[in-house]
Amino acid sequence: MIADRFGTAQAADPASPLTMKPQQGVSFDIGTKRAVSYFLIDGNSCKLTLMLAEVVHGDEVNGPTTTRVTVAIEAGKAAHLDTVEGKTLEFKCLGGAHVMSVEASNQATYWQHHE
């Protein structure tokens, strides 16, 4: 579990849909990576920030391999991130940009249903 400057973070299981509120950090493992994300309301979009790092031993994170991505997602739309482990993370901006959901699925399953 990770806390950030925006408030309390919560550990999550991305295999089941997770709901995020603005400025609420969430963390979860996806394959060999530790993910931490939060979003801010930016007009009619969710400004998502996602940080990924390799997990080395238990909860220890290997700093030099950290990646940070920030993307604006329009309300009612989604952004997808594919991992090298064959997973797809889907971040949806919902509720007039006041709620986001994140869900992990297998890439093959995701793309079969969305082509």
Residue 93 confidence (pLDDT) above 90: yes
Mean of per-residue pLDDT scores for the chain: 79
pLDDT digit string (tens) for 33-73? Answer: 888 999 999 999 999 999 988 877 666 655 567 889 999 99
Q: Tell me, letter by letter, the H, E, C secondary structure of 14-80.
A: CCCCEEECCCCCEEEEECCEEEEEEEEEECCEEEEEEEEEEEEECCEEEEEEEEEEEEEEECCCEEE
- The top-level CATH class assigned to 13-113 is mainly beta
Domain boundaries, the chain: 13-113
